[in-house]
Structure formats: structure tokens, C-alpha cells
Structure 1
Amino acid sequence: MNNKNRYRIKLLIFFIVIFTTKLYAKTESGSVIQLNDSSSQIHITTHFDYFLDTTSKYAIDEIASSNFEDHFRRVTDPHVLFDYLDSHIWLRITINNNQSIHNHSWYLESWGFDIKNITFYFPRPDGTFEPSTAGFERPFNERNVKHKNFNYFLDLRPSETKTYFLKVKRSYNQEFSFHLRTNEKFLSHSLNEYFLLGIYYGVLVIILTFNLYLFYRLRDTLYLYFPCLIIACIWFSLGRDGLGFQYLWPNSPWVNKLNNEKVIELIIILATLLFSERYIQKYTKNKNVMKLTVWAIMLKLLLFVNQLFIFELNYIHYIVITIIILLVPFSLGLYSLIKAKIYSWSYVFAYLCLFLVIVYSYSRSIQLFDNPVLNWYFVYPVIFAEMILFSFSIFNQLKFLQNQFLEANAEKTIALEKNNQLTQELNSKLKEKVRARTEKIEKMAADLAQKNVELQTTNVKLQELNSQVTQLNNYLQENNEKLRSSVEEVTKDLALMKGLGFDDFKNVFPDKDTCLKFLSELKWKDKYHCKKCEYNKFTEGPNHGKRCRNCNYYESPTVDTLFHKLKFPIEKAFYILYLSNRKDVDLTLNELSEILELRRETCWAFKNKISQAMEKVGHNTDLNGWETLALVHLE
């Protein structure tokens, strides 16, 4: 065989291979779903053809053209593609309605609330397509069918064949689940799903209400942390199944992103740590559990901030660290319970459920079931079991506290009985003492009555003696008048006698208070009149002064006297004045300064002041006492 023939054979084989590949590709990408009378729902995820649009430059007109048909490939895995999260995926499905029933309507349902963006292209009669865009990043009210999943009416009549396109953008390598359902099957499926979710949320709300009531009645933070945990789980579930987006925040799609940023998981873990710590402390006081709980909360917050803003860990590492953070205070708390001989299995299993929820929620690669819906909703019964088990733990704790209360009441009753017995014994003794005391008092009363009679007799005699004493007092007053006049004469004589020494004089005027009192009595011996307003009523003030009741002016005993503005002790000034009025005492200034312990100039100045006072009033030392000079005012 020559080279020319060989070349022709090779070229023929090449064209055969190319033709076969194109024919195979066309056959693979051109699959058609047949609807017959026995069909009511069909799982069609792997019946789609897909095209990866890495440049996002193609429009629906280009995608739907016959020239683009060979670019599609058959979907062989529910994930369609791994990676390429920033690229759009075009999905194509062709459906042929072979049903003879004309009253069936068909819906395409794309299950999975967290599809980032999905656009359904419905074929028009003129060959164009009508888009319908939805997704968890878009407002809920943009959807034609107001349902938490993505549902599209196909408008496919018997004997009709139509091709539909979807443009999808994901947020992670999620597993898709597409279904074809009749209107009746769609309603039945939706009602069942909403019914089961209603039971789930209803039970959680009942548990939440009961614990809020316990918090209202008992004012214990344990029954506040648990409602926080329940609310976080409800929020987590509402964000996971799409009911929250449908009913609570339809016009705020940013809440969906918040729900996916591990915020809810953070709240669940923090509430669980606080609830667990308080739960342990109700049984046994362990400060180490409290310290580890505080450290666990701080570490979890740091891990949360690191995941969002610093360095995002691989989800396996993140889950392992999170479980360790939870496990350390939980292990110590469980050890404390066992040490106190308290075995709360519901508490342990509830914590295991929490670990399972964390692992399963953030490990999207785990697929326990073939059905993606079951895989997605698997956390719901686990959360449900967790809440029920934690509730059982609270009930067991309430029973434990009630038993402690009953034991305390029993001990209190025994103590009260002993107390009552002692009280009765004391009452008996007290009654006996009261009776004896009463007899004694009655006897004393009889004695007092007798003595009262004697006292009355004595009073009569005293009245007689009183009249006699009155007569004697009158007689004494007459004699006192005579004595007073005699004393004045004796005083004048004493004034001429030898003076007293300073020590003897100090016995008469020992201190400042005595001098001020003497000066006050001397100054106001006749009657008080206010210097400011001439009012004659006063109240006693400090240092024997007097304060006017009308103008509140306070007057010191030294004002307008020889001792006004005195710079040395007044009792020493009294003695200098006393000596100045004595003829028989002639002390030099040096002697006077030494006796009084004053400076010579001070003694001289005050003696000079006394001399001025004598000249002012014409004082006669033979006839006048030294005290008359005290009231002389020189200024």
C-alpha cells in the first residue's frame, strides 16, 4: 500500500471519529424527559445538560441557538460541577408531555434555598425567552411563585415539547435537587413540608415560652440563657429552610448573607456555654468551670473574628477547634456532676447533638443520605432532639431542686418542732416565775398601802414643820439684810488689808472661764440692753457672752471693758488690776513680769492702761474696789 492510500485511510478514520464524537455529544446533550399519564413527580437533576460560562458573556439568545447546542454536556453528578464558584452554569432541559390528561399543570422546582442567583428562562411562542430571576441575594417579592424554594410554572400542554434554560450561580459546591411535579403533587409536597416545619417551630416556641415563664417566675439566668439558645436555633433554622426569607425579612436579602457568615453559629455556641455553666453551678459550685467558660467564650470570639477578617481556616480545622473549645468546659462540668453523684444523661446527649449540628452544618461534603433534601434537613431533628434533651435536663434539675427544697423543709420542720418544744418548756417556767412574782408584788402592794397611810400622817406633820420653817426663813432674811450691809463694810476694810499673792489669787480666779463669768455678771448685773437695737431679750452665747434675740448681735463680756482686745491671758490681767488697787503691795515691773511670766513691756502697758482708767473715772483706791475699774472703756 502506497503512502497516498495510507494518508486517505487515516483521514477517513479521523472524520469517522469526529463524526462519532459529535453524534455522541449531540445524543448525550439532547436528552428529552417524557411525561406520561402515570407521572406525577420526577427527580431530574441528572437529566439536565449543562454549560460552564466562565466569562459570563453569553446571553440566552446565543445559548438557545442551534449553533450552541454542541457545547452542552450531560449532568452526571448532583453537584453538576465542583469549583468554578465565580462562574455561571447554564442548565438546559427538554420536556415532552405525552399525557392524555388535560387538567394537569407542571412545575419545575429547584430545591435549595441558598442558591445565590438563579434565572429561569421560559420559552415564548415567538422563540424568545422570558426571564424570571430569584436567589437569596435578591428580594423575595421578585418571585412569581411565592414559595421558599424556586418554583416555575412550565405551561406544558399534552403533546407539547419545550426546552427550558436556567442560569445558576452558586455560593459553594452545593448539591442540586431539581424536580418536576404536577400542581397537585406540588401542593401536597408543600403542605406536608410546611406542616412538619410548623410542628418543629411550634415545639421550639412552646419550649421557649415555658423557659421565659420560668425566668419571669424564678429570676434565674439559667432560664434566660436557654431561651437565647432556642432563639438562635430558630433563627438558624429559618435561615436554612428559607421560611425566614419568605415571612420575616423578604425585602432584606442581606440578612441571608448574615445568616451564612457563622454569626448564628457563634450565638448558639455562646448561649450554650453560658447555659451549660449556669446549669452546672445549680448542682455544684465550681469556680474552675466558670473560669474555663469565660476563656472558651473569649477564644470563640477570637476564632470568629479571625475567620471573618484575618485568616480563614479550613472548615475541618475550624470545626475541630470549635469542638475543643466547647469540649473543655463541658468535660470539667461533667466531671463535677459525676463527682457530686449527679448523672444527667439528657444533658450529655444534648451536647452530643450540638456537636453533630456543628459538624454537619459546616461540613457540606458529608452526605448521609442519597436524597439531598434529607441531607439538608437532617440537622432539624438533631436540633429538635437537642432542645428536648436540654428541656429534660432542666426538668431533672427542677426535680432535684424540689427534692432539696423538700429536704430543707423537713429539716426546718424538725427544727421548728424542737423549737416549739423548747418554747413550751420556757413558757411553763416563765408562767411559774410570773406567778411567784405576782404573789411577791401583791405582798409588796399591801406593804406599800400600809406605808402610804404612814406617809400621809408624816406629811401632815411636815406641813406643820414647813410653816415653822417659813417663819424662820423670814427671820433669816431680815438678819441677812443686816449681814449684807455689814459685809460691805468688811469688804471696804479688807480692801485696805495686805493683798493676796498670785497663787492665792489664782484660787479665786483660776482660769479664763471664771474670769469671763465674773466679768459677765459684773457687766450685766443690772439689766441687759443690746448695743445695736437696745432690745432687752437675749440668749446665752459662748464664753458667757449674750446674743440679741432681735438683731442676733453677739456681745462678748470683754467688749467696752478694760480687757477689750487683750493680748495676754485675762486671769493675769485680773491680778495686775487687783494689785493696782492695793496700797500695801508695791511690786516692780521686773518682779511682776517674773511672777506672771509676761514681758516687762506688756506689764507696763497694761498698768499704764489701768492708770488711764483711774484718771478717767476719778478712781479712789480707799473707797472703790478694783472691780469697778474693770468696766472702764478707754477706746
Structure 2
Amino acid sequence: MNYLLQKIQLRIYVAILFTFILGLPTLLQAQEDKVELIDGITKVPIIKRMDFLLDTAAIFSIQEIASEDLQSRFRKVTDNHVVYGYLDSPLWLRLQVSNQMTQEDISWYFESWGFDIKDITFYFPNSDGTFSALQAGFGIPFPERRIKHKNFNYYLDLRPGEEKTYYLRITRHYNHEFTFFLRTNEAFLNHSFNEYFLLGIYYGVLILIVISNMYLFFKMRDTLYIYFICLILACIWFCLGRDGLGFQYLWPNYPWLNRLNNEYFIELIIILTTLLFSNRFIQKYTKSSRTHKLTSLAVLLKLGFFINQVYFVELYYVTYIVITIIILLIPFSHGLYILAKSGIYSWPYIFAYLCLFLVIIYSYGKSIELFNNPVINWYLVYPVIFLETVFFSFSIFNQIKFLQQESIQANKEKTLALEKNNQLTLELNSQLKEKVRERTEEIEKMAESLAQKNVELQTTNLKLQELNTKVTQLNSILQINNEELKTSVEEITKNLALMKGLDFEGFKQVFPDKESCLKFLSELKWKNRYSCKKCQYNKYNEDANYGRRCKNCNYYESPTVDTLFHKIKFPIEKAFYILYLSNRKDVDMTLNELSDILELRRETCWAFKNKIALAMEKVQHNKELSGWETLALVHLE
């Protein structure tokens, strides 16, 4: 009987031991999956200590996920990407945390490092078994976050001795490499301050480079600096969109702008500005139309490639990177060939382009993993961009130094040319002095000859005095003849005033244009003296239209003011001819004939002839005694 009891007890012990051995891995896994917070720890990486469930049908709610029925369907996370593919399916993550700390004043935060998660919802367990949700993501306005930080951060509200299970629902737009941490409040603040401080220095240096190049542009007016400024601003925009600071500070209410930094747009801007900068950089060293054409071709190819990638066939990212680098190599390699052919080697320019290639490759750091640390993978592009801008800046400085050396060489050549010119000038001066001496001798000889001729002139003057007496007698005779001529001149003057027998072509020879008419009218108007109508001052300045501007009050008076030609709407030379015809008795021309000759409307001719008739009536003009010019100064208004 005792033997039987001992055998039964042995079997029970074996069964218990066997059961314990079979359940040990499960217990160890459960122990490993649970995150325990103990004293002395400030940061805990947790992604591989979480469980996940892929909701391929997108049908589960938080209540269903937290139910006992679905707990067994969670699987342990073994890779930082959790699961590849299934980008349209929500990904659920489970986090079990136990606070074993003895200190009461330490709070813990969950931090999802990385900015570009499309949608992330963190579920907090409540005391009644329900869950509270906080939603964030780069597609949701930034102000809706409870903790205003570029990363996704959530307060755990976990007291010492408590244990809670948290859930995350994540929607992705590419295969994310997740980096989740639990940090104490002090560690979170220290990490944030250091990160913001370093990023501030990074952006500050880039902005200083932008400002210095703006100064160079306004100083030198060269488009090279504008292209470089646009390149740096594009890199700044790329980085602001990559680290989330742009979303936090610049466009918090416009989450759609985040898509411009997560697709191909900003990369297009960086490449186009680099191509334009590179072309201008080469052209400043040596004019190359072939490089300019290849740059234009590269720009067109990149634009076409961008349109295809966004709207038509999206290529595999490795293929996309290779084609983009080939497009950039077309003008770059030819530019290097042109520089080398001219004996110019700009190593900073070459290194800057290599950095650009690294930026293009590393802009896909979310797909290319060169390091085990995701933080390094993500931020390594920043020093590469910084080196790119520094190398491009060095290449600009080297170019300025090169151009200065060329300028110095040109000045030396100019100095040599000036010295040669001075030497030629001295030689010419010597020759001129010799010629001046010879000419002086000739002048002295001519002076002696003139002295002799002066004696002859004196003799001739005596003879001229005798002739002067005879001339005086002749002058008396000429005076009598002048009186007779004076009568004839008055008659001729009267006939000229009446201008009998002149047709329009003949009249145009006397008054061919507006300037001659204005000059005649100005002399006629102010033939006695000028007096300002405003202040009666008598000194003036005459302008190009023969008007006069008072030197005292600056009042300007046109030659046509207070005359018959004031405010006429047709050429003044034609008005002169109408006035001339109106004073002739021997010409009786109809309005139609006058309109055809002058090429004016019949009504215009009639209106001005009527104005002349009013002027004649006003001054009681006599065609026999007065010339037509007396009517010109009649003012009817």
C-alpha cells in the first residue's frame, strides 16, 4: 500500500515538473514582454517588448482589441518595422507597463520618435475598464495634440505599484521603422532641449549662409547667389519637414503641406536649384553653351521624370535614385570636363555635388538602413546637407578668389599697357618739341617778312586817306539814293506783308512747321518787352517751344496765350495760312477748296474763319492798311 502511494506521488511530481517545464517559456516571454520601471532607469526602448495585431479588415474597436478573445492573437514584435506591407491595414500595438519604482515624484512619458506617422492613436486605460484616446499624426492639425512636441508623446499616468496595458492604433503610408521609448519627465525634457538646441544651431548656421549670400547678391547683382539661396532654402524646407519643426512652428494648421516633404516635390526643387546654380557657377569660369544646353536638358528630364513619378508610373526607389543621379551627372560631368580643360580644379564644388548625391540617396533613409540606430539613420542627412552648403560656399569663395586673381592679372596687363603708352607719349612729345622749334623758326622768319610788309601797308594807308576823301563824296551821293530806295522798300515791305500771289506751298516755305510759327508769334507778341502776367517781372527763361517762364514767380506763358491761336485743335501752320488768306482781297477761296488744300474738315475751316472775322470786327481791321499779322495778337476769350 505504501509502495502504491509513493508511486502515485512520484507520478504527480513528474506531471507537475513536466507542466512547469512546458509553461516556463510562456512565463519567461510574459516576463520579458512586460516593461518594468525600476529606480535608476530614465529611458527604456520598448518596440521589441511590445505585441502587435494586424487588423487587415480594419473592423476592430478598442473594446474588441482589449477583450480576452483577441489577446491570444497578439504576436511579439521581433523587428523595428513590426510588419512589412499591409499599408492599408491598421496596426495595433500592445504595451504592458509595471511601475516598480519607490519614488512618487517621477512621471513617465511614452514617446514615438519620428514625425511622419500618418495616424497614431494612443489608448489609456480608465478605472472603469474603458479607454481614453489621444490622436495625432502628420495628417492631423498640430494644435490638436495634448503635448505640443514635434514627436508623438503621451503621459502614462502610472503610479508606483500600478500596472497598466496601453494600446496604439497606427496607420502608415510606408514601412516605418518604429522607435518607441519610455522616458522620465527629466529625461524627456533633457532630450528635447538638446535636440532643439542642436537643430537651432543647424538652422541658424544655414540662415547665416543665406543672409551672407543675400548680401553678396545685392553687392554684386549675380544670379549665382540667388540660385544658391534658393538651394539652401529648399534644404531648410526639406529638413523642417523631415524633423517636424516646420509642422510645429510654421504650418501647424495646414497638415497637407507635410505631403510636400514626404514625396518628391521638395527633392525636385533641390535638384532644379542645384542644376541652375551649377550652370551659373561653370559659366562664370568659362562660357560654355554646351553646358548650358545640357543643364536645360537635365531640367526638362527631371521635370518629366517628376510628373511621371507622381501622376503615372511610380518606379522602385532604387531605380528612381539611379535615374535621378544619371540626370544630374549629365551637366555635372561636362562642367567638370570644361573646368579641367581650362586648368581649373574646384574640389569643394566636386565634394558638394557628392554630398548632394548622398542627400538624394539618404532622403530615402526611411527605406535604406545603413546603421542599426534609427536616430542616426534619420539625422545623418543633416550633416550631409550642412557639408553640401559649406562646400558650395567654399567653391563660391574660391571662384571669387579666382576672379580677383584674374582681375589683378588684368590690372597688371593694363599697367604695362599704360607704361607702354606713356613711353610712346614721351617719344611723341619729343617729336612735337622738335616740330615746335622748327615751326617757331618759321614764324620768326614770317614776322620779319610781315615787318617789311607793314612798312608797305603804311605807304598804302596814305594812299587810302586820299581815296577816303573821294569816298566821302560818293557817300553823299549814296545817301540821296538811299532815300529813294527807302520809299521802294516800304512798298516792298507792304507787299510782303500782304504776301500777294503766294499759294499754300509758297506760304509753307515761309512758315514750314509749328516751330517757325511759334517763333514768329513769340517775336511778334513780345517785340516791345516781356512782362509777367502774374507778378509783372520782366526777366524770363525761354523754353524749346519759345514760351517764357518768369524768373521771379516761375509762371509760364505760351506764345499762343492771348492770341488768335489760343487753344486751337489743328496745326498752327495751317491756321497761319487761313489767317493769311483772310487778309487778301485778291483771293476768294471757298471752304471746300480750303478744306481740300489744308486737309482739314470743312467745319474746322469755317470755325476758324469765323474767329478771324470776329477778331477783325473787334479791332476794326483794315485790309488795306494793316497786315494779317496784326490779327494774330487779337484775343477773343
Aligned twin of 1:376: 378
CA distance in 2, matches of 1:93, 1:349: 46
Q: In the alignment, does 2:239 pair up with 1:237? A: yes
Aligned twin of 1:87: 89
Asked whether the 8 Å contact 2:241–2:261 carries over to 1, the reply is yes
Aligned-partner SS, 2:72: helix
Q: Deviations over 1:54-112 (max 9, x none)?
A: 22222222222233212211111111111111111111101001011122111100011
Aligned-partner SS, 1:362: coil
CA distance in 2, matches of 1:196, 1:28: 39
Amino acid at match of 1:420: N
Asked whether the 8 Å contact 2:51–2:93 carries over to 1, the reply is yes
Amino acid at match of 2:460: T
Aligned-partner SS, 2:345: coil
Aligned twin of 1:281: 283
Relative to structure 1, is the Cα distance of residues 363 and 321 closer, same or farther in structure 2, using a 3 angstrom cutoff? Answer: farther
Aligned twin of 1:356: 358
Matches within 5 A, 1:551-566: 552=577
1:400 pairs, out of 396, 399, 402, with: 402
Aligned twin of 2:140: 138
Asked whether the 8 Å contact 2:365–2:377 carries over to 1, the reply is no
CA distance in 2, matches of 1:322, 1:544: 80
Deviates most, 425-434 or 20-29? 20-29
- Structure 2 residue ranges without an equivalent (≥5): 1-17, 482-488, 512-519, 522-575, 588-637
TM-score normalised to structure 1 length: 0.71
CA distance in 2, matches of 1:456, 1:250: 109
Q: In the alignment, does 2:35 pair up with 1:42? A: no
TM-score normalised to structure 2 length: 0.71
Identical columns (%): 60
Amino acid at match of 1:179: F
Matches within 5 A, 1:60-99: 60-99=62-101
Aligned-partner SS, 1:166: strand
Amino acid at match of 1:178: F
Q: Deviations over 1:227-271 (max 9, x none)?
A: 111111111000000011111111111110122221110011011
Relative to structure 1, is the Cα distance of residues 134 and 538 closer, same or farther in structure 2, using a 3 angstrom cutoff? Answer: farther
Relative to structure 1, is the Cα distance of residues 95 and 163 closer, same or farther in structure 2, using a 3 angstrom cutoff? Answer: same
Aligned twin of 2:552: none
Relative to structure 1, is the Cα distance of residues 446 and 129 closer, same or farther in structure 2, using a 3 angstrom cutoff? Answer: farther
Aligned-partner SS, 1:147: coil
Deviates most, 321-330 or 355-364? 355-364
1:124 pairs, out of 120, 123, 126, with: 126
Matches within 5 A, 1:199-598: 199-362=201-364, 364-434=366-436, 437=439, 441=443, 444=446, 451=453, 455=457, 458-459=460-461, 461-468=463-470, 471=473, 536=498, 552=577
State the Cα distance separating 1:542 from its structure 2 match: 7.8
Relative to structure 1, is the Cα distance of residues 138 and 543 closer, same or farther in structure 2, using a 3 angstrom cutoff? Answer: closer
CA distance in 1, matches of 2:316, 2:167: 35
Asked whether the 8 Å contact 1:29–1:73 carries over to 2, the reply is no
State the Cα distance separating 1:286 from its structure 2 match: 1.8
Aligned-partner SS, 2:366: coil
Aligned twin of 2:535: none
Relative to structure 1, is the Cα distance of residues 441 and 67 closer, same or farther in structure 2, using a 3 angstrom cutoff? Answer: same
CA distance in 1, matches of 2:45, 2:330: 45
Amino acid at match of 1:64: A
Q: Deviations over 1:160-217 (max 9, x none)?
A: 1111111110110010000011111111111111122122112211222222211111
CA distance in 2, matches of 1:470, 1:312: 116
CA distance in 2, matches of 1:280, 1:547: 66
State the Cα distance separating 1:468 from its structure 2 match: 2.4
CA distance in 1, matches of 2:278, 2:493: 85
Relative to structure 1, is the Cα distance of residues 29 and 325 closer, same or farther in structure 2, using a 3 angstrom cutoff? Answer: farther
Aligned twin of 2:54: 52
CA distance in 2, matches of 1:301, 1:382: 25
Relative to structure 1, is the Cα distance of residues 168 and 444 closer, same or farther in structure 2, using a 3 angstrom cutoff? Answer: same
Amino acid at match of 1:407: Q
State the Cα distance separating 1:536 from its structure 2 match: 3.7
Q: Deviations over 1:332-364 (max 9, x none)?
A: 111111222222222112111111111121363
State the Cα distance separating 1:476 from its structure 2 match: 11
CA distance in 2, matches of 1:475, 1:399: 91
Amino acid at match of 2:358: L
Asked whether the 8 Å contact 2:32–2:49 carries over to 1, the reply is no
CA distance in 2, matches of 1:456, 1:249: 106
Relative to structure 1, is the Cα distance of residues 554 and 536 closer, same or farther in structure 2, using a 3 angstrom cutoff? Answer: closer
Deviates most, 364-373 or 27-36? 27-36
CA distance in 2, matches of 1:155, 1:128: 15
State the Cα distance separating 1:125 from its structure 2 match: 2.4
CA distance in 2, matches of 1:86, 1:21: 36
Aligned twin of 2:169: 167
Q: Deviations over 1:497-535 (max 9, x none)?
A: xxxxxxxxxxxxxxxxxxxxxxxxxxx9965778xxx96
Aligned twin of 2:153: 151
Count of paired positions: 496
Asked whether the 8 Å contact 1:540–1:547 carries over to 2, the reply is no
Aligned-partner SS, 2:277: helix
CA distance in 2, matches of 1:547, 1:334: 74
Amino acid at match of 1:346: P
Asked whether the 8 Å contact 1:119–1:134 carries over to 2, the reply is yes
Amino acid at match of 2:423: Q
Asked whether the 8 Å contact 1:55–1:87 carries over to 2, the reply is yes
Aligned twin of 1:186: 188
Asked whether the 8 Å contact 1:29–1:72 carries over to 2, the reply is no
Relative to structure 1, is the Cα distance of residues 438 and 155 closer, same or farther in structure 2, using a 3 angstrom cutoff? Answer: farther
Aligned twin of 1:497: none
Taking only aligned residues, the RMSD between alpha carbons, in angstroms, comes to 3.5
State the Cα distance separating 1:407 from its structure 2 match: 1.1
State the Cα distance separating 1:280 from its structure 2 match: 1.4
Q: Deviations over 1:579-627 (max 9, x none)?
A: xxxxxxxxxxxxxxxxxxxxxxxxxxxxxxxxxxxxxxxxxxxxxxxxx
Relative to structure 1, is the Cα distance of residues 267 and 61 closer, same or farther in structure 2, using a 3 angstrom cutoff? Answer: same
Relative to structure 1, is the Cα distance of residues 126 and 478 closer, same or farther in structure 2, using a 3 angstrom cutoff? Answer: closer
CA distance in 1, matches of 2:479, 2:238: 110
Amino acid at match of 2:333: S
CA distance in 2, matches of 1:37, 1:473: 139
Asked whether the 8 Å contact 1:28–1:74 carries over to 2, the reply is no
Amino acid at match of 1:187: L
State the Cα distance separating 1:124 from its structure 2 match: 2.2
Aligned-partner SS, 1:109: strand
